[in-house]
């Protein structure tokens, strides 16, 4: 198995993005799966172009993207991506789409094709706080998750894909009172555990565990 795992570059005035920094800490092989790492730009549509070029080059079985979600307490696999860009802030090329469809011919939403419940359980076993997230937002993170699943739906039906959000790291919250953070090594450990679950559940249905949210 080959897994392409990407992370975004810094955005929103931050000097670092824990997403790709954690990806860089991952081993090159997890449970026998080859891990291919890629940094992608925090830019609407360009992120998907860079990612698809790498997909064509390495032909992975799994496409997984990691992004930063400041304010979250855990490493959170995303359940769903919605077909809308509604940017609260500009991306790294100062584009700020508002209420724009990502793909005119795409469905309203795509669900992750990764075993997200198994991934959460595996992360918890690794002593990393984790939960299923039911909203990837409407910025470039949701955008790339939707683009991954659209790409799989239209061109690569044999592949699987999805998205994981991670928290700030401590150095990012020095000037952000009451914001949670997680050490980079713990984020990387959580990602590695989640990838182990992807490998172990390959070809199998996800486990049935509580992962819903009231709000």
Is 4:202 a contact under the CB 8 Å cutoff?
Answer: no
Q: Which of 142, 162, 143, 164 is nearest to 152 (CA)?
A: 162
Q: Does the annotation count 196 as an active-site position?
A: no
Mean pLDDT calculated for residue range 192-196 = 98
Q: Residue 215 — pLDDT band, cuts 50, 70, 90?
A: confident
Mean pLDDT for 2-16 is 96
> Where in the chain are the domains?
2-200
| In the chain, % of residues over pLDDT 70 | 100
**Catalytic: which of 21, 45, 65, 78?**
78
- pLDDT for the residue 83: 98
Query: Residues 18-51: pLDDT tens digits?
Result: 999 999 999 999 999 999 999 999 999 999 999 9
Query: Residue 110: what pLDDT?
Result: 98
Q: Is 165 a catalytic residue?
A: yes
- pLDDT above 90 (res 59): yes
Confidence bin at 14 (pLDDT 50/70/90): very high
pLDDT bracket for residue 154 (50, 70, 90): very high
C-beta separation of 9 from 20 below 8 A: yes
Instruction: Give the whole-number percent of the chain exceeding pLDDT 90.
Output: 99
Q: Are strands 29-30 and 33-40 parallel, antiparallel or unpaired?
A: antiparallel
Strand order from edge to edge, sheet including 76-77:
29-30, 33-40, 2-8, 62-68, 160-166, 76-77
Out of 45, 65, 121, 141, which one is annotated catalytic? 141
pLDDT recorded at residue 214: 86
pLDDT, tens only, 165-190: 999 999 999 999 999 999 999 999 99
Both tokens assigned to 62: 């799994």
pLDDT category of residue 211 using cuts at 50, 70 and 90: very high
Catalytic residue among 165, 166, 192, 196: 165
Say if residues 137 and 124 touch (Cβ distance below 8 Å). no
Which region holds residue 28: left if phi is over 0, alpha if psi is between -120 and 50, else beta? Answer: alpha
Q: Is 166 a catalytic residue?
A: no
Task: Calculate the dihedral angle through the C-alpha atoms of 73, 11, 27, 190, rounding to the nearest 10 degrees.
Answer: 10
Name the pLDDT band for 58 (thresholds 50, 70, 90): very high
CA gyration radius, the chain: 16
- 210: exposed, middle or buried (C-beta count within 10 Å: 0-12, 13-18, 19+)? exposed
CATH code, 2-200: 3.40.630.20
User: What integer best gives the mean pLDDT of the chain?
Assistant: 97
pLDDT for 48 equals 98
């Amino acid at each position: 198995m080959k897994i392409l795992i990407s992370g975004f570059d810094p955005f929103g005035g931050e000097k670092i993005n824990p997403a790709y920094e954690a990806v860089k800490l991952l081993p090159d092989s997890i449970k026998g799966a080859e891990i291919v790492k890629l940094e992608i730009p925090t830019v609407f549509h360009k992120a998907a172009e860079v990612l698809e070029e790498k997909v064509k080059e390495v032909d992975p079985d799994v496409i997984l993207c990691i992004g930063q979600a400041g304010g979250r307490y855990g490493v959170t696999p995303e359940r769903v991506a919605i077909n809308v860009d509604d940017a609260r802030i500009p991306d790294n090329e100062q584009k700020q789409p508002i209420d724009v469809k990502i793909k005119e011919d795409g469905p309203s939403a795509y669900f992750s094709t990764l075993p997200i419940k198994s991934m959460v359980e595996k992360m918890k076993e690794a002593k990393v706080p984790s939960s299923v997230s039911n909203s990837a937002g409407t910025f470039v993170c949701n955008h790339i998750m939707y683009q991954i699943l659209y790409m799989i739906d239209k061109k690569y039906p044999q592949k699987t894909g999805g998205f994981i959000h991670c928290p700030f790291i401590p150095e990012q919250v020095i000037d952000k009172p009451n914001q949670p953070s997680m050490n980079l090594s713990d984020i990387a450990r959580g990602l590695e555990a989640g990838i182990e679950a992807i490998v172990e559940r390959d070809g199998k249905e996800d486990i049935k565990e509580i992962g819903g949210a009231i709000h």
